[in-house]
Structure 1
Amino acid sequence: MKEIFSKVKKAWKLAKDFKLTGDIGVIVTSIMIFIRGFSLILYSIFSAENILMDKFPAVEKFKIGCILFLLSIFIGLSLIVLSVEIFLRLHKSYKITQIFLILNLIVYFLLGVDYFEMGLIVLTGLILTIIKGHLYREWASFRKRKYGILIILSFIFIIMYMMAAPFLQESFLSDAIISKTLFKRGRSFLAAGIFIYLITWAFLLLRNIIVFRDKLKNKVAQEELIKVEEFLKENKGDVNTHLVFLGDKALFWGMNGKVLIQYSKIGDALVALGDPIGEEKYIGDAIEEFQGFANRFTLSTAFYRIGRDKLALYHENGYHFYKLGEEAVVPLENFDLKGKKKQNLRTAKNKFERENYSFQMVYPPYSEEFLKDLQAISNQWLDGRKEDKFSIGWFQKEYLDKSSIGIIRNSENKVIAFASTLPYYDDKETVSIDLMRFKKDSPNGIMDLLFLHLILWAKDEGYKNFSLGMAPLANVGVSDHCHTGEKFAKFIFNYGSHWYNFKGLRYFKGKFDPNWTPRFLAYPKVMSLPVLALSINRHIGKGKE
């Protein structure tokens, strides 16, 4: 006996340690659980006459049968949903699935189902125990978007099922119909089915609200921002880095805090803004860690507005690429207003100087009165629209207090336009323009003047480059051999001025003779590019009031 027990124990350990249980075992178990749930619903009708209640009168037997019939729908439908959760490897679904398998076994016994079917339930429970260690996910984005599909499909199934049930069990229902008890033919059966359907989904949804709470929030604590400031003293940033201080994105610290990734949960993905920051040798492993982190929540990952210097690292981690546009970067070492190309800029600068317009650079901390003036300009410029977010700054006093602001005053010494700067945290190599606002009655060319003065200021401050920001869809899809999606982007660039002035923005930034640096979206193959792009654009456009 001991020898047999020892062999069983070794076989059990071997099964638990078998590497393929992580893939095959989970799939097989989820299918078996689904079949158990579906079979229970079917058996609840076809085995109704075999209920082990022979000592009871027909009417009492019928009442008990109806209760078991409805209970079977509740348990069966719950097992179907739980099979999906097991397939998604949600560890919090393990215990409740075991409980429902036990309930399944009890109902099968009362329905008089043969022992072979009951043995399959026991086998399903044992295999579920074996693959328990592979149920590692904490939460699934599936529950919000795709439960709706399950709810609709199950409703259609229940309606069809309950309408057919009286005819499938004509002989069982006949005595009850004659004695006018509990259910009337057809109509009452359907009402009972809808009732138990609603009870089942109320239970499942309430359980999900309680058990699977979404812990991923698109915000960062003030303590973490202090940690970021210390981190940036030792690590270089880029055009996206300063946006972390908006506080609207979460932070992922990879490689034990050696790499920083700022991200937002957008749809079914964690979308990182820009490239990871940190030591180059750790970036690739940090990307893989970030993928593993997202996988715990059944989410994919994407990287928005990345540069081309790290594309190989993304490629090694399975990403595809889509060109978003180009960033305009002005080299400052040889920048001046000489030459034919700069004629319009010289003319505008001289004109505004003759009319006593002046430029001033203001540094934090800012007075309440100064910020109040800027707020009025910003509100007028927005004209009731929401601020964009995620990949662009917005008017937030705490955020503005972390960078310098260039202003234009008119001849009456009143501020009519302003633009905040965005540092790259790269030892003063590059600075960019961030928030740009001007009054509606400002003269034409006021933004040319503001940009020009900011560029000249950056040159005087010793910066090597000045970024004018992105020109979306610029030079996208120009090759005959590019992807279909990028060819569509080219069409939007050429003919989409009704929605966004793509061409005008590129022309405006081109006045300053910049170098154009491509920016990309890195996304996994499993994600639909159009769906991801639409989700990101909607997230950016949701903005702040």
Structure 2
Amino acid sequence: MSVKQGELLPKCRGSAQAAREKRRWIPRVAALLTLAIGLLDMASAVTPGWRSRLDDLRALLPMAVSRQASAFTVVVGMLLVLLSAGLRRRKRRAWRATVVLLAVSVVLHVLKGLDYEEATGSAALLAALVVTRGEFRAKGDPTTRWRAIGVGSFLAVVSIVVGLVLLRLRHDRIVGPHPLSAQLEQVVLGMVGIQGPLTFASARFADLVFRILLTMGVLTIVSTGYLALRPPEPRPMLTEEDVARVRALLARRGADDSLGYFVLRSDKSVVWSPSGKACVAYRVVSGVMLASGDPLGDREAWPGALTEFLREAADHAWVPAVIGCSEAGGLAWTRVGLSVLEIGDEAILDTAAFSLEGRSMRNVRQAVARVERAGYTAVVQRVSELTPQDLALLRNQVARWRGSETERGFSMALGRIGDPADGNCVVVTAYSAGAPPPDREAPGTAAPQDAALPPEEAKPDETAEPRPRAVLHFVPWGRDGLSLDVMTRDRTADNGVNEFLIVQAVRQAQQLGVRRISLNFAVFRSAIERGERLGAGPMIRWWRGLLIFLSRWFQIDSLYRFNAKFSPTWSPRYVCYPNTVDLPRIALAMLEAEAFLVWPRWREHLPLPRRHRGRRCEG
């Protein structure tokens, strides 16, 4: 399904918004030109100038001024390269700093060698930025002190590269052998004001090298220190007031959307409608303001919440996007100007109509019977019914089963389990009697005779204490539904234990007052299903083949097959986006938010919210 953006564009956005969309190229071109001017500044400072111009300049100013101007020009170029990214995102702070640096660049080009060509380029870009200043209105992003490490590392690397290039271009001014290691030592020491191992034939060139390296070193140290010492501005998360207001909304009318309870995930933020009767949950990932699910609250208040969401995105130049909204949510987003694409389907069970009878349920019926014969039992409980000791044991058990696996989830995961505040959540635990796990047996101990038998023929030890083997965790869905959050199990548990737990949850639905259960989300389910049909066209067959190929790394086909066993009702889910050109960036942000794209391990130590293992994790 695709809804054209222009068809439902509301009048409230008006011609000003349309004109702004047409001028999106201006920040991009400005950023590209700023990057080019920055690189040109650095190149012009380390390359020889015109001798005739230098003679004219020497008659007016001491050469020390020219050499220091060259050093400052390198610094200005480095800063312009850094600021180009902020200009592309329409940041007001970046615009102000760029305007000042371009003005300084014009003066420096004149002082360092009467370089009128470079000065004209900087002046022209300066004039263009002043004329288009209205395009750069975005607020700065919240930051942490860890940004100092990134900026400092970048400046240090660029300084070293520039220093090596300078020595390479003027290698004829170096006396004696000068291997790369000696040049690198000269650059690093020069950045902190220490004379290096190289000897230069010209005192003027030696002074130029010293000034450039020392100036770049001072810039690196001062910039890193400033960013490290300034007060951090962390991204906002759910405050206690937000949590209380969200829980009040859930208590007053429940949630029409099965993902409504996941608004309480701790690494999300919320924006509220002016009336306070609706909110949108989101997280900023790589410059994308990514909302999840439908807005929470009264539908008549949705437009106000959506408008506030888009305003916040525009204020910071974030790309607004939505992942996993329902059809009702998708229609609401189209009315504020976003386009919609179907991304998959959610499997929903009607507990009253569910039955294991019939050929279509044969696989589930056999799996459940096999697990029951193996001696498994299930316990269905609300979290509020568990003792603190039981909750601690539950959390530890799930963490042990998860091991070193990546914690996934954003749009369809709560990110925690066994929290007393989530008393209405439901835990379904599978227990089995038998010998302790293999890793608890003493070395050299012979395995029991029954261990050689298949699971359906093994004889459970009735005298052994039952031990947990698998857990399902559900969050409330309105007043009469449950939405699957976590599905995890012991790797040594019998196959079919997940099917067994789902069936047990359905069997206990009446006692829990539940008539609908939301299971896994199947990505591009309709494409896989249509590609299997007789007479499917070549494009849909190619698309299905690509999805099957990607299933080697992502649970696409396996989750669809697992869901389809239960003959569920399929409810489509959508992605909302502002422009087609933004889709690749939004797709990467979605993969990062759901932890399918994971940063290196060192990133886990940064003061950022940890990725949480999500629902739909086992198939």
- Superposition TM-score tier, normalisation by shorter sequence: 0.7 to 0.9
CA contact (8 A) 1:88 1:137 kept: yes
Aligned: 1:303 with 2:358: no
2:343 match: secondary structure: strand
Counterparts of residues 435-454 of structure 1 (less than 5 Å): 435-454=486-505
Distance in 2 separating the partners of 1:35 and 1:241: 47
Provide the C-alpha distance between the structure 2 equivalents of 1:528 and 1:209, rounded to a whole number of angstroms.
Answer: 34
Q: Which residue of 2 aligns with 1:226?
A: 244
Task: Read off the aligned partner of 2:327 and give its amino acid letter.
Answer: R
**Superposition deviation, residue 230 in structure 1:** 1.0
Please name the residue that 1:173 is paired with: none
Q: How far apart, in 2, do the equivalents of 1:461 and 1:476 lie?
A: 35
Shift of 1:30: 7.5
In 1: Cα distance, 2:320 partner to 2:156 partner = 28
Q: Distance in 1 between matches of 2:130 and 2:499?
A: 68
Paired position in structure 2 for 1:368 = 388
Where in structure 2 are the equivalents of 1:244-259 lying within 5 Å? Answer: 244-259=263-278
Q: CA deviation at 1:263?
A: 1.8
Q: 2:566 pairs with 512, 521, 533, which one?
A: 512
| Structure 1 residue 383: Cα displacement | 3.7
The SS at the match of 1:136 is coil
- Count of paired positions: 507
| Cα pair 2:138 2:314 within 8 Å, conserved | yes
Partner of residue 473 from structure 2, selected from 420, 423, 444: 420
What TM-score, normalized to structure 2? 0.65
The residue matched to 1:233 in structure 2 has which SS? helix
What is the alpha-carbon distance in structure 2 between the residues aligned to residue 105 and residue 394 of structure 1?
53
Q: Secondary structure at the match of 2:280?
A: strand
Distance 1:30 1:302 in 2: 24
Inter-CA distance 311–456: structure 2 relative to 1 (3 Å threshold): same
What is the CA-CA distance between 1:539 and the residue it aligns to?
5.6
1:466 Cα deviation after fit:
1.6
Which residue in 1 is equivalent to 2:607? Answer: none
CA distance in 1, matches of 2:200, 2:391: 83
Q: 1:225 deviation in Å?
A: 1.2
Alignment of 1:396 with 2:396, yes or no, is no
Q: CA deviation at 1:333?
A: 3.3
Inter-CA distance 64–323: structure 2 relative to 1 (3 Å threshold): same
Q: 1:51 aligns with which of 57, 67, 79?
A: 57
2 CA distance for matches of 1:444 and 1:82? 55
Structure 1 residues 122-172: Cα deviation after superposition (integer angstroms, max 9, x where no partner): 9987886776666432226999999899998998788767866899xxxxx
Contact conserved, 2:413 with 2:612, CA < 8 A, in 1? no
Give CA-to-partner distance per residue, 1:389-409, whole Å, 9 cap, x none: 323245533265441222334
| Higher mean C-alpha displacement, 146-155 vs 61-70 | 146-155
The gaps in structure 1 that reach 5 residues or longer are 1-18, 168-176
Deviation readout 1:87-139 (Å, 9 max, x if unpaired): 64433346545654564565467569699999998998788677666643222
Q: Distance in 1 between matches of 2:423 and 2:329?
A: 32
2:442 match: none
- Choose which of 527, 535, 541 in structure 1 pairs with 2:592: 535
User: 2:139 is matched with which residue?
Assistant: 138
What residue identity is the alignment partner of 1:229?
A: R
Give the superposition deviation at 1:419.
Answer: 1.8
Q: CA deviation at 1:352?
A: 6.1
Distance 1:446 1:267 in 2: 38
Alpha-carbon separation, structure 2, partners of 1:374 and 1:442: 17
Residue by residue over 1:305-327, the C-alpha shift from the partner in whole angstroms, topping out at 9 and shown as x without a partner, is 22233434444555455543321
Verify the 8 A CA contact 2:70 2:108 in the aligned structure 1. no
1:406 aligns with 2:425: no
Correspondence list, 1:350-369, <5 A: 357-365=376-384, 366-369=386-389
Gaps of 5+ in 2: 1-18, 173-198, 433-461, 599-609, 614-619
CA deviations on 1:353-379 (whole Å, 9 max, x unpaired) are 677654332223321332244235424
Do structure 1's residue 526 and structure 2's residue 532 form an aligned pair? Answer: no
Deviates more, 1:379-388 or 1:492-501: 492-501
SS of structure 2 residue aligned to 1:262: strand
Deviates more, 1:202-211 or 1:248-257: 202-211
| 1:258-337 matches, cutoff 5 A | 258-284=277-303, 286-317=305-336, 319-337=338-356
Q: Deviations over 1:420-449 (max 9, x none)?
A: 222122x32x32232223334434433222
Pair 1:127–1:100, CA change in 2 (3 A): same
The answer to whether 1:457 aligns with 2:508 is yes
Tell me whether 222-231 or 313-322 shows the greater mean CA deviation. 313-322
SS in structure 2 at match of 1:51 = helix
Q: Distance in 2 between matches of 1:63 and 1:349?
A: 86
Matched, 1:472 2:527: no
Q: How far apart are the structure 1 equivalents of 2:78 and 2:88?
A: 16
Return closer, same or farther for 1:198/1:257 CA change in 2, 3 Å cut-off: farther
Q: CA deviation at 1:506?
A: 2.8
- What's 2:603 paired with? none
Contact 1:139 1:212 in 2 (8 A): no
Question: How far has the Cα of 1:387 moved from its partner?
Answer: 2.9
In 1: Cα distance, 2:123 partner to 2:31 partner? 14
Q: Helix, strand or coil: the match of 1:183?
A: helix
- Number of the residue aligned with 1:69: 70
| Aligned mates of 2:64, 2:413 — CA distance in 1 | 65
Counterpart Cα distance in 2 of 1:341 and 1:29: 60
What is the alpha-carbon distance in structure 1 between the residues aligned to residue 64 and residue 492 of structure 2?
80
Deviates most, 226-235 or 251-260: 251-260
For 2:485, the equivalent position in structure 1 comes to: 434
Q: What is the identity, as a one-letter code, of the residue corresponding to 1:408?
A: A
Cα deviation, residue 329, structure 1: 0.8
RMSD of aligned Cα (Å): 4.9
**Alignment-derived partner of residue 458 in structure 2:** none
Distance 1:379 1:233, change over 3 A: closer
